Chains A and B, each alone.
Chain A
């Protein structure tokens, strides 16, 4: 049984308002043999400068400290890669630090940069993440990723991370999905949606027009998960510039968008799911203890929390993050979200951990059509569209960059710049990708608030990054 102390449940507080002013990213792909990592990082930072109508040198002049997210040294075969990138970006002699929290590295990098600004250490910080996963064949890549499981107890069992998620998928499917074929089809819909949205994203690695049956007929990786249930292995970089209010105003002076308030909160849980002990469900502002009293009766076996069906780290990042930003109901208060869809099952699990649906009812978020840009059932805008970028399944999972890419995606909606960033012909041409004839503007109209989840391991580290238009805050600053 896990118990938290009052001190541990204190809601984190930023010492001053913090803003995301701009962001950028490179092309994402399975392999980019014609570019070094530093070239991808420079692509990202140059894009961030262009979005605020500055030269890279002008934007760099504001940066005071740097936070570099790069998860897997063994993928890139370069220890202290942060120092290489920092040098190539021409940011010496500024202080910099590398951040590694597996799949959550991008979110954790934003977490560190935000805290640096909130504390007053820096008025402007660079959060830059990247990953280079093309320097080994795919099976060796899977081996390297499996090294992020416990190397004595789990990694030797197949050396494949999909397997560690598949046991969760099996349990979730049988307990909450009641082993129904319809549930399995709902999981497959997530993949169809994310590959489909990736078609409208020139940065995305895996645009595909597929059906549920295509997903269900794709090769089994680790039953019940199939190839199209799984995220991509990618190369690419993404960055964001995090500032205090005064600097944010200066940088956005000639920009077509305004700075966005940012909050980042983090949670953690055991690296080995095997070590998860039972506990009471930490409640989000839109939940009550009563609603889970009969969870085990409605879903026999579902009363073991977090068990293998929930992510405590996600729940805790939301527990802190929602209260920091004043979110009382994510479905009502948020307009757009980006979830860490490492696998279709983890996407589903996150709906519940984030309180978008109560535990046991995650499938309804997909089946209702609420998670779509345009609800396929009603033809109306989805209530809370998710992973318009294509997510990790359709866009990319260049690990250290992922959480930053997803945060940038949210910002592009809140800035009302999604069509400009994703639709311009020159971007498609630059990346050598044909723009689809049926390209569709996926701007979430009127978006003011967003949430991005960055998630590591089998839930070992998770961050919630919340962006809000400063004219649409949910609470006054403390």
Chain B
């Protein structure tokens, strides 16, 4: 019986167990208009990748704990010292110094607004979000960048005040653990597994 591929790190090396690929035979592709002559074959493949978050790991871990982390350049020699990044950015894009991790949860709860949005009726394969997906880009006071995320409740509007919610139960440890709802939304209205 197969099991999903699982990975952990020991001594800075990946340790894997389970099935990382599944074997499926090729199947011929034939031409229905020309005597079912051979045109090609299918090449089935089902793989699981191993992906390192590196210096961004604290951000994705913090989402499961109900925290929104950003970063700030504190390099006194940087011309742009004080730049705050959300999305979380490991290094300052100007001086390339290592940024300081900051907790933006409170700020996001108080001053996040929708910069722009869209409502997605179709998605690509492997999308795990329910349609329609309400993409929003969120801007914050005194933050130089604009985070892309999604709204879980209500209809988005430019300028709408929103607050972050976090998938604290059964987190996926991906960006999908962060979502937003209109300010004033009650806790019992949140999607399953999410909390403020």
* Chain A residues within 8 Å of B, Cβ to Cβ: 1, 3, 33-34, 77, 137, 139-146, 151-154, 156-160, 162-164, 166-171, 174, 219-225, 272-278, 301, 308
Q: Looking across the interface, which residue of chain A has its beta carbon closest to that of B129?
A: A158
| Residues in chain B near residue A168, CB distance under 8 A | 116
- With both chains docked as a complex, state the minimum distance between the C-beta of B46 and any C-beta of chain A, in angstroms: 12
**CB of B40 closer than 8 Å to a CB of A:** yes
| B189 surroundings in chain A (CB, below 8 A) | none
Contacts of A139 in B (CB 8 A): 123-125
User: Which residues from chain A contact B150 at a C-beta distance below 8 Å?
Assistant: 157
List the B side residues contacting A219 at CB < 8 Å: 121-122
Bound-complex Cα distance A47 to B128 (A) = 45
B160 in the interface (beta carbon within 8 A): no
The answer to whether B135 touches A273 (Cβ under 8 A) is: no
Asked whether A222 lies within 8 Å of B145 as measured between CB atoms, the reply is no
Q: Is B8 interfacial (CB-CB < 8 Å)?
A: no
**Could you list 17 A-B pairs, sorted by A, with CB under 8 Å?**
A1-B144, A140-B124, A143-B125, A151-B51, A153-B87, A156-B127, A167-B135, A170-B158, A171-B158, A223-B118, A273-B146, A273-B148, A274-B87, A275-B89, A308-B115, A308-B137, A308-B146
A274 touching B118 by the CB < 8 A rule? no
Q: Are A157 and B148 in contact (CB under 8 A)?
A: yes
Set of chain A residues within 8 Å of B24, measured between Cβ atoms: none
Q: Kindly state whether residue B149 has any CB partner on chain A within 8 Å.
A: yes
Kindly state the separation between the CA atoms of A170 and B124 in the bound complex, as whole angstroms: 20
* Contacting residues, chain B, for A142 (C-beta < 8 A): 122-125
Q: Are B124 and A146 in contact (CB under 8 A)?
A: yes
Q: Which residues of B contact A33 (CB under 8 A)?
A: 29, 31, 39-40
- The answer, among A151, A160, A167, A277, for a CB contact under 8 Å with B124, is A160
Residue-wise interface mask of B (131-162) relative to A, using a CB-CB cutoff of 8 A (1 in contact, 0 not): 01101110000001111111000000010000
Is residue B119 contacting chain A, with contact meaning CB distance below 8 A? yes
Shortest A136–chain B CB gap in Å is: 8
Partner among A145, A153, A278 whose Cβ is within 8 Å of the Cβ of B148: A153
> A224-B118, A273-B146 known; A156 and B135 CB under 8 Å?
no
Contact, CB under 8 Å: B120 / A222: yes
What A residues does B79 contact at CB under 8 A?
A: 3
Given contacts A139-B125, A140-B124, A158-B129, contact A222 B146 (CB under 8 A): no
**A residues in contact with B29, CB < 8 Å:** 33
Chain A residue with the shortest CB-CB distance to B174:
A156
Contacting residue for B118 out of A3, A143, A166, A272, CB 8 A:
A166
Q: Which 4 A-B pairs have the closest CB atoms?
A: A159-B124, A142-B124, A166-B118, A171-B116
In the complex, the chain A residue whose C-beta lies closest to that of B147 is: A274
B126 lies within 8 A of chain A by Cβ: yes
Contact A167 B175 (CB under 8 A): no
Give Cα A272–Cα B93 distance, bound, in whole angstroms.
13
Q: Are B158 and A222 in contact (CB under 8 A)?
A: no
